Amino acid sequence: MYRLKKILALILSLIIFVIPVASCSDDEDENVLQADYGPYGAMVARELASSYPYRRAYTDQEAQAGEFIRSQFESLGYDVSKQDFTNLYGGSSANYIVNIPGNGFFSFDDYGNPVEVRRTIVIGAHYDDAFSSDQVDPSYGYDGISDNASGIGVLLTIAEQIKNYDDLSFDVILVAFGAGNDNYAGARAFVNSLTDEVAGSIDCMYCIDSIYGGDKVYASAGFNSLLMSQKYQMRRKLYQAYDVVYDSLLYTQYGFSLYYNECGIITDLNGDGYDDIYREVSVNKSDYVPFDEMNIPIVYFDSADYNFDHMEDMKDTKNLNLQEFGGMIRNTPIDSTVTLDQFMMTEDTDILQIRINCVAYIILESMMKGSDFAMTSAEYIAMQDSTN
């Protein structure tokens, strides 16, 4: 009830004091740098990769990397919950979880009275990588910068920037998943720990994985969206992410584009015996899978190149300098800061920083579009005004 009072007070203040945002000129809008988050996310990603390069699931370096992420969250002022879990062979790992309460939403009871409703967004990225020190030739300089230090860079950038979103209605859960390369064990442990109430309140899970090494950055929905009866419902959050990009100046300001996978190959993607259209989904799986299996909408960000005519041709990059492993970066020894910086960066452009900041911006702005199941304070005010 105290939150309902808080929100009603916010509504009253908004009615009394209206900020004349419409007075800004187009020129002023163009001078505003969106996703102007600085080097923090890229610096953290590079520090994670360089300090703990061989953070394979259940290793000492993975554990140390997790504690590094905890320290970063804490330096940003957050309380962090550590969720320990083990595999069948006694290996131990952990998720690091930050809960950020929002302002809540409005719904209505059977008598038409406004009631507070909680809706939740989960944002996650795994912090382990593919190899331990005895599995890769050290001459490659492998450190998992793309898969998935880059995703952790986005997660921490969101943690840093979300404090500027005072009117965010969603409760937000940030999760650094352990053991992502072990069949998404950390994500499964997290999902299995959710109460029915929290699980039922999740509007979307945003998953970030390997956004540096590929030619293009894509956003995809889950395999649950392949069912025609719920295609739009399960892709609505994906479309909202693209709406943010269409309404922004990310390409003008940074040269950043977010791509649909629209190659249109006809094949059985989910193994149910029926052909699907390979469009707006990805065969690259990540920590979103347990949420997808729960029929929760997901938006998955990764970098690759899906512009091929055959599924077996799909790879991360067509860059001729990065073909030693058939154009794949993730789960290969050339997922290396030294290698990728050499061929991705220019003298005045840090592609890692641009991608981290732009993906963080897209997720933050997408959350401001509200819920399909309840009304934000602003939407409630608009409804009240329209009926008066």
Q: Name every residue whose Cβ is closer than 8 Å to that of residue 261 and which is 6 or more positions away in sequence.
A: 218, 220, 278, 279, 280, 281, 282, 306
So what's the pLDDT on residue 380?
76
Q: Which pair of structure tokens corresponds to residue 94?
A: 């952990």
Percent of the chain scoring above 70 in pLDDT? 91
pLDDT at 374: 87
Distances (CA, A) of 237 to 121, 207, 229, 304, 372: 11, 12, 16, 21, 9
Average pLDDT value for residue range 244-266: 94
Task: State the pLDDT confidence band at 21, using cuts at 50, 70 and 90.
Answer: very low
**% of the chain with per-residue pLDDT over 90:** 80
User: Considering all CA atoms of the chain, what is the largest pairwise distance in Å, rounded to the nearest integer?
Assistant: 71
More confident position, 142 or 11:
142
- Residue 2: per-residue pLDDT: 40
Q: Say if residue 62 is exposed, middle or buried (CB neighbours under 10 Å; 0-12, 13-18, 19+).
A: buried
Instruction: Say whether pLDDT at 12 is over 70.
Output: no
Mean pLDDT, rounded, for 16-33: 48
pLDDT reading at 166 higher than 90 = yes
179: amino acid identity, one letter: A
**SS3 per-residue string spanning 50-90:** HHCCCCECCCHHHHHHHHHHHHHHHHCCCCCEEEEEECCCC
Question: How far is the C-alpha of 170 from the C-alpha of 119, rounded, in Å?
Answer: 5
The answer to whether 153 and 41 are in contact (CB under 8 A) is: yes
Contact (Cβ atoms closer than 8 angstroms) between residue 325 and residue 255: no
19 has pLDDT over 50: no
pLDDT tens track for 260-284: 998 899 999 988 888 999 999 998 9
Distance, CA of 44 to CA of 149 (rounded, Å): 8
Q: Work out the average pLDDT over 292-314.
A: 95
Choose the weakest-confidence range: 6-10, 14-18, 85-89, 361-365.
Answer: 14-18
pLDDT given for residue 379 in this prediction:
80
How high is the pLDDT of residue 347? Answer: 79
Q: Output the pTM of the full model.
A: 0.91
Residue 3, pLDDT above cutoff 90: no
Phi and psi at 204, nearest 5°, equal -165, 150
pLDDT value for 11: 43
Q: What domains can you pick out in the chain, each with its CATH number?
A: 28-387 (3.40.630.10)
Buried (b) or exposed (e) across 16-32, using 16+ Cβ within 10 A? Answer: eeeeeeeeeeeeeeeee
Predicted confidence at residue 31, as pLDDT, reads 67
What is the overall mean pLDDT for the chain?
Answer: 91
**Rounded to 5°, angle at Cα 43 from 63 and 246:** 110
pLDDT at residue 205 tops 90? yes
Q: What is the CB neighbour count within 10 angstroms for residue 349?
A: 11
**Angle CA 325–222–106, to nearest 5:** 140
The pLDDT value recorded for residue 94 is 98
List, for residues 324-336, the tens digit of each pLDDT value. 999 999 999 999 9
User: pLDDT tens across 357-388, in order?
Assistant: 999 999 999 999 999 888 887 787 777 777 76
Q: What is the pLDDT of residues 102-130, one digit of tens each?
A: 999 998 888 888 889 999 999 999 999 99
Mean pLDDT, residues 34-59 taken together: 98
Alpha carbon distance 258, 219 (integer Å)? 7
Q: Are the CB atoms for 165 and 364 separated by under 8 Å?
A: yes
What is the distance between the alpha carbons of residues 14 and 141, in angstroms, rounded to a whole number? Answer: 54
